[in-house]
A = this chain, B = another copy of it.
Amino acid sequence: MQSQTKRIKVFAPATVANLSCGFDVLGCCLDTVGDEMIISLSSEPGVRITKIEGADLPIETDKNVAGVAVKALLEIYEKEIGVNIEIYKNIKAGSGIGSSAASSAGAVWAVNHLLDNPFSPHKLVEFAMEGEKLASGNAHADNVAPALLGGFTLVRSYDPLDVIKLHTPKDLVMTVIHPQIEVKTSDARSVIKQKVTLKQAIHQWGNLGGLVSGLFTEDYDLIGRSLEDVIIEPMRSILIPEFNNVKNAAIQNGALGCGISGSGPSIFALSKGMDTAKKVADAIREVYATTGLDFDIHISKINSAGIKILE
């Protein structure tokens, strides 16, 4: 029986960071979009990536986000153990829906589970952030936090790290379009001005307060009114073809709000109910069909659990 507990297959979810008004602080976890990972403990010490399918990612532990995240965990764990990691990617790298976060979060969650949970989910966020640091140079938490805690999360502070799980209204459904273009991280960064007007900032934090309030009170209209980004979206959306047309189509077809997922190029639309989310998907598919660009569309409920055990 013991050998069974030493191997686990998990679902590592995609995540949508920022959510319009919550740049660098908010994120939420998807339910039906994500990777699969098989993690097993081994008597041979060390962390090994033993298989990667679905993506061309580094197999060397120190160059792989899952490897680095698990190594960060094991540095704190008192006993010397071995870990083998198999990664089956469905989330495309560079899509803006937390591909690297899914791998980092899934790996540390699975290892923690196999070790009988010595670390809290909040502590796992710190380990997974090491994977994000490798992926983007910045140990951010806005994707790994929702992947590990599920639902909607707020990164209140990094120093010290303070991650808060918010409430998940049950009828929210996310539609995501991933235009298969490459937006260089350096471009996504360089378009962002480092100074904002106080007036813009007040506008943004008014919306953030409205969104958090709307989540707790399940006030879908308020959620919709609050899904507005007056700072980042006007700068970054220029890198995403047809952004304004997609957004208009989503809103006209009943979406509560629509914005850039993470640093893009994916665009998310949040709706009340599956029917509306599907209608929104049809509308934005129609917009993108005219471009000649390849794209994926995902429709998913919000996953309030986070990582899930498959086997």
A residues touching B (Cβ–Cβ < 8 Å)? 21-26, 154-157, 162, 164, 166-167, 192-199, 201-210, 212-213, 216-217, 222, 225-226, 231
Contact = CB atoms under 8 A, between A and B. Distances in A.
A205 B166 CA distance: 15
A25 B202 contact: yes
A23 B164 CA distance: 22
A216 B203 CA distance: 22
Contacts of A25: 202, 205-206, 209
- Chain copies in the assembled complex: 2
Q: Which residue of A21, A162, A164, A167 has the most chain B CB atoms within 10 A of its CB atom?
A: A164
Nearest to A232: B198
22 contacts: A21-B205, A22-B205, A22-B209, A23-B205, A154-B210, A154-B213, A155-B206, A156-B209, A156-B226, A157-B206, A157-B207, A157-B225, A162-B210, A194-B197, A194-B199, A195-B197, A201-B201, A209-B212, A212-B212, A212-B213, A213-B216, A216-B217
A156 B208 CA distance: 8
Given A195-B196, A205-B205, A231-B198, A210 B156 contact: yes
Contacts of A164: 209-210, 213, 222
A217 B165 CA distance: 11
A155 B225 CA distance: 13
Give me the 10 closest cross-chain CB pairs, A-B, nearest first. A156-B210, A216-B216, A205-B205, A201-B201, A212-B212, A25-B206, A154-B209, A156-B206, A205-B208, A24-B202
A33 to B, nearest CB: 25
Contacts of A23: 202, 205
Contact of A166 (B26, B202, B213): B213
A156 B204 contact: no
B156 A201 contact: no
